């Protein structure tokens, strides 16, 4: 399987590319700058240098010939509302459009834990724009004919992965290692049961492979 990882230089993205390569599949890391490429080349991954604030065609070119696209990009907590809009919303929508243009049906979106209207209203003022961006990016994907999966992770940590999670349409908010989210993404790509599904993920006691099989 050839997989385009958008936001590959992020922490989840790096874990995911490494996992893809270690399991005999081929990652294509979409990165913003040339100096980010060495990490991925050392893993045997392909790279594509694309700015998500650019044109859809550039993303579509990077998606040519892949079997799946994973959107795990994010503007990060230190940027303003403008970058949240340009990356977390517009960048996500352009990536969806690029997948469609390149005839890539399988698409996995890494969202926020809760992107409901209620979550927007309850979010602190500083966090609300991010939830809004993720809400509308999710809605855009839901209204396509892509074979989508939307993953809603809990509070992300840099703790070592445990390969054990709690996963479901609605779970209690909690922490989850980024490494385990990468494993959930990769396992979802390998299981058609996740197509057309969206679910929340936090740390737990169930092995990832078993948890994915319980997706409803």
Residues marked active site are found at: 130
Q: Using DSSP, state whether 121 is helix, strand or coil.
A: helix
Q: What 3-state class would DSSP assign to 20? A: helix
Q: Write phi, then psi, for 137 (nearest 5 degrees).
A: -65, -45
20-27: list long-range contacts, CB under 8 Å, 24+ apart: 20/45, 20/186, 21/45, 23/186, 25/1, 26/1, 26/2, 27/2, 27/3
């Amino acid at each position: 399987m050839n997989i385009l990882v958008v936001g590959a230089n992020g922490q989840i993205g790096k874990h995911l590319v490494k996992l893809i390569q270690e399991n005999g599949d081929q990652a294509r890391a979409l990165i913003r700058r040339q100096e980010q490429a060495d990490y991925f080349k050392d893993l045997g991954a392909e790279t594509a240098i694309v700015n998500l604030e650019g044109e859809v065609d550039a993303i579509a070119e990077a998606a040519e010939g892949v079997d799946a696209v994973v959107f795990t990009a994010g503007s990060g907590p230190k940027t303003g509302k403008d970058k949240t809009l340009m990356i977390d919303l517009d960048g996500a929508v352009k990536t969806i459009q690029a997948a469609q243009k390149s005839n890539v049906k399988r698409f996995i979106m890494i969202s926020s834990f809760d992107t409901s209207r209620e979550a927007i209203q309850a979010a602190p003022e500083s966090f609300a724009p991010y939830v809004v961006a993720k809400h509308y990016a999710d809605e855009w994907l839901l209204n396509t004919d892509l074979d989508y999966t939307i993953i809603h992770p809990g509070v992300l940590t840099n703790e070592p992965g445990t390969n054990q999670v709690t996963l479901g349409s609605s779970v209690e908010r909690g922490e989850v290692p980024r490494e385990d989210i990468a494993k959930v993404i990769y396992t979802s790509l390998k299981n058609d049961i996740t197509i057309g599904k969206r679910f929340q993920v936090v740390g737990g006691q169930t092995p990832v492979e078993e948890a994915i099989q319980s997706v409803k």
